[in-house]
Amino acid sequence: MAFSFPRHRPDFWTWITISIVAVLCILLILPILRVLTLGFIDPDTGSLTLDNFIEVFTRNYYLNGLKNTLFVGALGTLGACLIGIPLAFFTTRFLITGKTLISTLAILVLVSPPFISAYAWIMMMGSNGVITNFFGGIGINIPTIYGAHGIILVFSLKFFPFIFLMTQTALTAVNKSFEDAAENLGCSPWQRFVKVTLPLVFPAVSTGAIICFVLSIADFGTPAILGRGFRTLSTIALSAYRSELGGPPTMAVTVSILMMAISMIALVAQRRILANRRYASSLTNLPVAVKLSGWKNAAVHFFSHGIVFLAMLPSAVVVYTSFLKTKGPVFVGGFGLESYDRIWRDAPDAIYNSFLFAIIAVTFITITSGLISYVIVRRDTKAAAAIDFLMMVPYLVPGVVMAIGFVTVFRNGMPNFFGPAFLLVMIYYIRRLPYGVRSTTSSLRQIKPSLEEAAVNLGATPLGAFVKITVPLIFPGIVVGALMGFITAINELSSTLILYDAGTITMPVKVYLAVLDGEFGLAAALSTILLLSTGACVYAVFRFAENRNSAFI
């Protein structure tokens, strides 16, 4: 028996469970299965074959892409760890002035789209960047941001908040007695950190690292903007898809399978490592932050604030640039609102589409995530466990891959039935649904089931009890989930690039195209609007979330 439903009468929640499974089958499982099968089919003969994989693993074009992806992914993650772990340690173990500001900025970095910081770095350190030109002016040729090192820099500064926030949470929960015991047994502070503290927070660090790695593999915007000939699997998948338009996207799909496989292997490896490391700890003796003095204090403050400053710098540059006076694509000196003027003329549809698609998708997410959470938390069936597992899948499937799956399922044979707008809303929905579900699930876990039972006992139908009792009680979780869904949906680039057409362009796509065209002013103004809406949502999350940090990771 695949699903163990209650044997006697299928009740309201059984029907909901069936509907959820059906939706997930169509929007999630089907596209992924389609991608998986297409990779094993010969595009010309239609027969089963391994040739596509042989091609990927023998041709340098693909092999280099694979190597590059792993290289920037691994080093980007390493960089994020080297930034995030010390930052977490400093902010929890030492008294740092402006600690809340650091966390807030880290969260802002976390939610702002990576392609914006990629192109902001071009404006600073590109061939014609401010910093490049400054050093060029005094006769020093510094390397430009283009290439692997630039991508690694952007990844490190973009993804470190995952490591930082998760490690910080773990560090505040480590029983101080462990560290005291280590010191008592003769460890120096550094030995204590390496031998006791770090292993204790390793589960959190590794979870953060795996998120960084998966996001680095999936990221399209950064290598596309900074790559200049340095190709990763995500950019290769997109160009393969473009060159295969009209036929089956066999090579795009084969590369996609490779990307999914890497994410999966990384996740499984992390689970394996973590399986034997569960540290239950009674929180009798909470760690305390000590006040440093002298140069140590200065150094720790300089590092902590310096890092978030550096990470926020791209956003600041973007906002600053948007107010520069331009003439066409050229900055002519001084300040002006020409860039915003151009948005109203050139890209009102991008703004309109972005908000429209994101709002519709988030509306669906809001309605369904409460129901899905209820099934996951309250129903002890195999189907509920399967749904819980499936909610992890969208995190692991890169946007490019998901979009190619959508195209192969929904455009195959019925070209005009599902329009691009419909597909974009659906892909935002399925890819951002886990944010909503995770948030409502954690709210729901704190609600005693007896409350719903009491309502049913007093005569409310299962749906009535859900609407009158459950929804009001998990409302903050629903709002936070919706806001997180909105932030991530409105900033979506990679899958939109595959699915959009002239009438359904969005702000991230417009920014991406403007950057490729060298229209930095226009890109900056649009990015500023994106950053503002993102910032407003973050502010709202802060207002609604019980624990502000955990809402984002």
Interface positions with another protein (CB under 8 A): 6-9, 11, 448, 450-451, 453-462, 464-465, 468-469, 472-473
Residue 267 host element (H or E)? helix 250-275
Closest to 496 measured CA to CA, from 550, 449, 413, 432:
432
539 near 479, Cβ under 8 Å? Answer: no
Q: What DSSP character marks residue 530?
A: H
User: Please, what is the minimum distance in Å from the beta carbon of residue 380 to another protein?
Assistant: 10
Kindly tell me which of 36 and 456 has the beta carbon lying closer to another protein: 456
Kindly tell me which of 12 and 344 has the beta carbon lying closer to another protein: 12
Q: State the Cα–Cα distance between residues 50 and 87, nearest whole angstrom.
A: 47
Amino acid 162 reads: F
Q: State the Cα–Cα distance between residues 458 and 439, nearest whole angstrom.
A: 29
Kindly tell me which of 44 and 453 has the beta carbon lying closer to another protein: 453
Q: Are strands 330-335 and 324-327 parallel, antiparallel or unpaired?
A: antiparallel
User: Please, what is the minimum distance in Å from the beta carbon of residue 7 to another protein?
Assistant: 7
> What is 455-481 written as a DSSP string?
HHHTT--HHHHIIIIIHHHHHHHHHHH
User: Please, what is the minimum distance in Å from the beta carbon of residue 445 to another protein?
Assistant: 15
User: Please, what is the minimum distance in Å from the beta carbon of residue 447 to another protein?
Assistant: 9
Q: State the Cα–Cα distance between residues 77 and 502, nearest whole angstrom.
A: 36
User: Please, what is the minimum distance in Å from the beta carbon of residue 482 to another protein?
Assistant: 19
Kindly tell me which of 124 and 460 has the beta carbon lying closer to another protein: 460
Q: State the Cα–Cα distance between residues 370 and 22, nearest whole angstrom.
A: 17
Kindly tell me which of 272 and 448 has the beta carbon lying closer to another protein: 448
Kindly tell me which of 229 and 472 has the beta carbon lying closer to another protein: 472
Kindly tell me which of 345 and 448 has the beta carbon lying closer to another protein: 448
User: Please, what is the minimum distance in Å from the beta carbon of residue 436 to another protein?
Assistant: 21
User: Please, what is the minimum distance in Å from the beta carbon of residue 461 to another protein?
Assistant: 5
Kindly tell me which of 409 and 469 has the beta carbon lying closer to another protein: 469
> What is 161-215 written as a DSSP string?
HHHHHHHHHHHTTS-HHHHHHHHHTT--HHHHIIIIIHHHHHHHHHHHHHHHHHH
366 near 436, Cβ under 8 Å? Answer: yes
Range 524-527, long-range pairs (CB < 8 A, 24+ positions):
524/318, 524/319, 524/321, 524/322, 524/324, 524/339, 525/322, 525/339, 525/340, 525/342, 525/343, 526/343, 526/347, 526/350, 526/351, 527/113, 527/116, 527/119, 527/318, 527/322
Amino acid 41 reads: I
In this structure, how many other beta carbons lie within 10 angstroms of the beta carbon of residue 210? 21
User: Please, what is the minimum distance in Å from the beta carbon of residue 548 to another protein?
Assistant: 22
Burial 80-99, CB ≥16 within 10 A → b, else e? bbebbbbbbbbbbbbebeeb
User: Please, what is the minimum distance in Å from the beta carbon of residue 5 to another protein?
Assistant: 11
Kindly tell me which of 273 and 454 has the beta carbon lying closer to another protein: 454
User: Please, what is the minimum distance in Å from the beta carbon of residue 474 to another protein?
Assistant: 11
User: What tokens were used for 540?
Assistant: 């709202």
User: Please, what is the minimum distance in Å from the beta carbon of residue 239 to another protein?
Assistant: 53
Helix (H, G, I), strand (E, B) or coil at 324: strand
Kindly tell me which of 6 and 143 has the beta carbon lying closer to another protein: 6
Kindly tell me which of 142 and 463 has the beta carbon lying closer to another protein: 463
Closest to 288 measured CA to CA, from 180, 199, 193, 204:
180
Q: State the Cα–Cα distance between residues 540 and 105, nearest whole angstrom.
A: 15
Kindly tell me which of 23 and 473 has the beta carbon lying closer to another protein: 473
User: Please, what is the minimum distance in Å from the beta carbon of residue 22 to another protein?
Assistant: 23
